Amino acid sequence: MKPILLCLALLPGIAHAAAPAADADAAFYDTVVQQAFEHYHLPGLAVGVIEDGKVVHVATRGELAAGEGRHVDGDTLFKIASNTKAMTAAVLARLVQAGRLRWDDPVTRYLPAFRMYDPWVTRNMQVRDLLIHNSGLGLGAGDLMLWPEPNHFTRQDIIAGLAHLKPAGSFRADYAYDNLLYVVAGEVAAAAGGMSYAALVRQEIFVPLGMDRCQVGEWSPAKAGNVAQPHYRKDGRNVVVGRDGDVASDFPSMAAGGVRCSLDDMLRWMQALLDPARAPGWLDATQRRALWTAHMPMPIGQRLRDWDNTHFLAYGYGWRLSDMDGQWKVAHTGTLSGMYSSLALLPDRRGGAVILINGEGEDARTALMQALLKRQTAPAAGHDVLHYAGLLERERAQRRSEGHVRPVLAPAVAVAAREFGADAGVWTDPWFGQVMLCPAGTGIAFAAVKSPAMRGQVMRSAGRPWVQWQGLGEDAEAWLEFSGEGAQRILRMRAIDPDIDFSYDYPDLEFRRVGDCP
C-alpha cells in the first residue's frame, strides 16, 4: 500500500523560539495569566501567544499534581480533549489530499456495519457529515458510552449503538454537538488509511510537524514523564482524580478527545496552521480551505454578541468559525476528566493563543482567552481577566435568578430493598446495555455493567427515587422514573441539576426489565 506520509523536513521555524513582545504586551500577558491562575485557584496552567506567526509569549504556572512539587513547563503533557477533533479532521484532509477518500464518500463505503436510526440517513451520511454536528442526534447523544471513564464500551459498541439513538431533529437541518460521530470518523480514517487511527495521527501530524511530545493511542506516562494530572476542587483544595497508571489506554473516544500534547507542541501545531510556508506540502490550499469553511451554521449566543460583536458562527471540519471585533476567528475548546483546553486562531493576523489547564477551569479559560485575544483584536479596551470574571459571575447570577439551579431536595432516605418490589432486577437499554437495580445490604444499588463508574445507591426524596453516585458528584445525580405495567414497564432517567453536563445523556436511555437480580 502506497504510504501517505510526505517526507517533510522539519523547518526550524516550526519549533518556536519566543520572540520578544513589546514591553507593554509582555507585562499585560503576564498579568492576565497570573490573574487567571490565582483567581480561579488552578493547580497548573500553560499559556502561549502568537502574533504575526511568531511565539511572543509563553507562561506556565503551578504543578503537575497539586502539592507534589513538580512544576508545569513547556514540555508538560495535558489532555487537549475536544481540540483533538481538529487533528482528526486534519488526518482525513491528508487522506483526501492523497486520494484515499473523498469528503462526499458515503460512510458505509468504509464501514459497512455503520447504521443510524433512520435507514435513509445511513445511506446518505457522508464522511464530511461526521465532522459538523448535523446528524439530527440530540446534544451529546450516546456520550454515556464514552464517559465517565474508564468503561468497557468498544468502538464497535459505539458504532452499533448509533442505530438505537433516536434523532432529536432532521438530518442536516440543525446543529447539535456530538462526540460519537468523531469516533466513527476515526474508524473511517483507519479503514481508508490502512492503519489504526493512532498510527495515522502520528504519521500525518506529529511526525511532519515535529510535535514530538504529543501522545495518542496506548502509551506509557512513566516513560513519557512530565504529565499533568487532572484535578477537581474539593473542600477548597485541588485534588488529583483519575491519576494515570503505568499505561494510558487507547480508549474508544480517542478521535473525539483523546490526544495529549505539550504547550510547545500546540504552538507548533498553531504555527503550521497559520502559515503554510512553515510546513510546505503538508496540506494544500484546497484542504486548508475545506477545514475552515463554514459547513454548518450555529446559533449565536448573547455572550458572543455582547463581548465580540459576533455576526456569524459556524462549524467547519473540527473547528468553530466566527468573527470577533470584525476579524476572522477559528477556535475550539476541550473539556475532559478534570482538564480544560482552549485554542483560538486569528488567521488574517497570523495570531492566536492556546491555554492548557489541569483542573476545573471552564471560567478560567473563557476569561483568560478573551483577555488574550482582545489584546490583538481590540487593544484599546484593555480588559483583563478580572473584568471577564465579573461578567461571567453576573451571567451565573442571572441564570440562578431564572431557576437554573439544582433544586433543594426533600430529606433523602435510602430506599429499602423490601419496598422496591418488582422493580428490583436487571434492566437493559438497546445502546447502553444492562444496569442492575439489586439489593445491597438493606438498600438498593444501581450498577451499570459496562460503565463501572456509574454505581450508586437508590435514594428517595418526597416519594421520588434517585441515584446518589459513589464517585461522580451530586451534579450528575438523576431521578429514576418508572412507567407502564408488566412487560411494558419502562425505566427512564432524568437529571436533577438543570445545568448538568450534556455528556450525561440520560434523556436517550429507555430501560426495560429483562430478569431478576442474580
Question: Helices (H) and strands (E) in the chain — how many of each?
Answer: 15, 21
pLDDT at 498 over 60: yes
Dist. CA 270–CA 266, nearest whole Å: 6
Q: Which of 344, 370, 401 is at the close of a domain?
A: 401
Does one domain contain both 425 and 375? no
Q: Would the CA dihedral through 126, 127, 128, 131 be positive or negative?
A: positive
Asked if residues 44 and 63 have their Cβ atoms less than 8 Å apart, the reply is: yes
Structure confidence by residue, pLDDT tens digits, 398-448: 988 888 788 888 999 999 999 898 999 999 999 999 999 999 999 999 999
Structure confidence by residue, pLDDT tens digits, 55-94: 999 999 999 999 999 999 999 999 999 999 999 999 999 9
Does one domain contain both 315 and 425? no
Structure confidence by residue, pLDDT tens digits, 463-480: 999 999 998 888 899 999
Which of the four pLDDT bands, split at 50, 70 and 90, describes residue 22?
low
Does one domain contain both 255 and 349? yes
Say whether 345 sits in a helix, a strand or coil.
Answer: strand
The reply to whether 311 falls in a domain is yes
pLDDT at 7 over 80: no
Dist. CA 206–CA 61, nearest whole Å: 26
Does one domain contain both 284 and 352? yes
Nearest residue to 116 (alpha-carbon basis) of 67, 170, 72: 170
pLDDT at 21 over 60: no
Distance of CA 397 to the CA centre of its chain: 26
- Which range among 242-246, 286-290, 380-384, 486-490 has the greatest average pLDDT? 286-290
Task: Give residue 403's pLDDT.
Answer: 81
Please compute the mean of the pLDDT values over residues 131-135 and round it to a whole number. Answer: 98
pLDDT at 18 over 80: no
The reply to whether 43 falls in a domain is yes
Distance of CA 237 to the CA centre of its chain: 24
E-strand ranges in 337-462 read 339-346, 351-357, 413-414, 425-429, 433-440, 443-448, 455-461
Dist. CA 450–CA 506, nearest whole Å: 15
Does one domain contain both 304 and 441? no
The reply to whether 142 falls in a domain is no
Does one domain contain both 380 and 494? no
Task: Give residue 149's pLDDT.
Answer: 85
Pair type for strands 351-357 and 44-51: antiparallel
The reply to whether 106 falls in a domain is no
Please compute the mean of the pLDDT values over residues 291-317 and round it to a whole number. Answer: 98
Does one domain contain both 432 and 379? no
Tell me the residue range of the domain where 468 lies.
Answer: 413-515
As for how many domains the chain has, the answer is: 2
CA-CA distances (angstroms) from residue 241 to 63, 238, 244, 336?
Answer: 14, 9, 9, 12
What CATH number is associated with residue 243? Answer: 3.40.710.10
Nearest residue to 458 (alpha-carbon basis) of 498, 500, 427: 427
pLDDT at 497 over 90: yes
Does one domain contain both 430 and 465? yes
Does one domain contain both 257 and 341? yes
Averaged pLDDT score across all residues of the chain: 94
Listed in sequence order, the DSSP H helices in 249-383 are 254-257, 263-274, 285-291, 302-308, 362-377
Element (H, E) at 478: strand 478-483
Does one domain contain both 391 and 448? no
Which amino acid belongs to residue 239?
V
Backbone angles phi, psi at 220, to 5 degrees: -110, 110
Nearest residue to 86 (alpha-carbon basis) of 320, 356, 298: 320
Please compute the mean of the pLDDT values over residues 268-285 and round it to a whole number. Answer: 97
Task: Give residue 405's pLDDT.
Answer: 83
The reply to whether 215 falls in a domain is yes
Which of the four pLDDT bands, split at 50, 70 and 90, describes residue 180?
very high
Query: What residues have CB less than 8 Å from 475, skipping those under 6 apart?
Result: 406, 497, 499, 500, 501
Does one domain contain both 385 and 468? no
The reply to whether 362 falls in a domain is yes
Which amino acid belongs to residue 168?
A
Please compute the mean of the pLDDT values over residues 210-237 and round it to a whole number. Answer: 97
Q: Which of 401, 433, 451 is at the close of a domain?
A: 401
The reply to whether 135 falls in a domain is no
Which of the four pLDDT bands, split at 50, 70 and 90, describes residue 12?
very low
pLDDT at 250 over 60: yes
* Other Cβ atoms within 10 Å of 426 Cβ, number: 17
The reply to whether 164 falls in a domain is no
Structure confidence by residue, pLDDT tens digits, 159-175: 999 999 999 999 999 99
Rounded to the nearest 5 percent, the helix, strand and coil shares of the chain are 35, 25, 40
Single pTM value for the model: 0.93
Does one domain contain both 420 and 380? no
